[in-house]
Amino acid sequence: MMLVVESLSAHYGLFGAVRDVSFEVQEGDFFGILGSNGAGKTTILRAIAGLHPPAVTGSITFRGKDLLKAPPHARAALGIGLVPEGRRMFSSLSVRESLLLGAYRRGKAWQVRNLDRVLATFPELAERLEQATGSLSGGQQQMVAFGRALMCEPSLLLLDEPSLGLAPVVVQRIFALLKELHASTGLTMILVEQNAVEAFPLLTRGAVIERGRIALDGTRAELEASPVVAQAYLGADGA
């Protein structure tokens, strides 16, 4: 297993956003965490990335290493990349500067090599390297967010609501890019997403979270066979 989460609980003050969550992610998985708004999906990703407040208990193990007390930069150095909800761009920075932020702790040769690799994945950005990130469309900014995370050569990529705020045609394009990236590189991914209809075909395995707890987990086929998943997340009648 690449990632093992056991009995994870996370609190904002007295509010328990996530309670006793456990799941495992295998090398090469495209693992989805599905659920309604406020179910606790983003909290789980933030806990894995080290961005959650200190009120986190349980166990998070990445390739045998205990992450619970590791700071965010140490987790990134181990190979965990994050594409945050809402993209979180510095709008005044150029596309080049924004991408290089993902590898600012690395040497020049690393940055050049990975910048070329990211631009090969997102050739549209190569034409806009000196353009201010804030002037890009929402879809282009999402590409920058993906590229910034890929600059550190992650072995695990965390994706938090990548379709948020994007037009339907752009959403389809973003998911097509993710499908191609996973197929071509085998990169392990954890996707948090409300748009289950678009996300579901990409997944190898996943979990459904409701009110801060895992309600169901398994392979894509096992989730798809659940009447609850079919009705609540995939728009089927559940019959």
- Quote the CA–CA distance of 109 and 35 in Å, as a whole number: 41
**Residues 150-159: tens digit of each pLDDT:** 988 899 999 9
The CATH number covering residue 62 comes to 3.40.50.300
Rounded Cα distance between 73 and 39, Å, is 27
Cα 38 to Cα 74: distance, rounded to the nearest angstrom? 28
Distances (CA, A) of 87 to 40, 159, 228: 19, 10, 31
Band (pLDDT 50/70/90 cuts) for residue 238 is very low
pLDDT, tens digit, 9 for 90 and up, residues 3-51 = 999 999 998 766 778 999 999 999 999 999 988 887 889 999 999 999 8
Q: Is residue 44 part of a domain?
A: yes
The arithmetic mean of pLDDT across residues 112-124, rounded, is: 86
Residue 116 lies in a domain: no
Exposure on the CB side of residue 80, measured as CA atoms within 13 A: 26
In a domain, 212, yes or no: yes
Mean pLDDT for the stretch of residues 206-231: 88
pTM of the model: 0.88
Q: Is residue 184 part of a domain?
A: no
For residue 171, being part of any structural domain is answered with: no
Dihedral (CA of 49, 1, 187, 86) sign: negative
- Asked whether 82 and 27 are in contact (CB, 8 A), the reply is no
CA nearest to 13, candidates 52, 42, 49, 55: 55
For residue 208, pLDDT over 70 is answered with yes
Q: Is residue 6 part of a domain?
A: yes
pLDDT tens profile 183-205: 989 999 999 988 888 888 899 99
Number of domains the chain is built from: 1
Q: Is the pLDDT of residue 141 over 60?
A: yes
- Is the pLDDT higher at 170 or at 106? 170
Structural domain includes residue 90: no
Residue 235: HSE in the Cβ half-sphere, 13 Å Cα cutoff:
6
Confidence category of residue 89, pLDDT binned at 50, 70, 90 = confident
Range of the domain at 206: 1-72+189-239
Residue 121 located in a structural domain: no
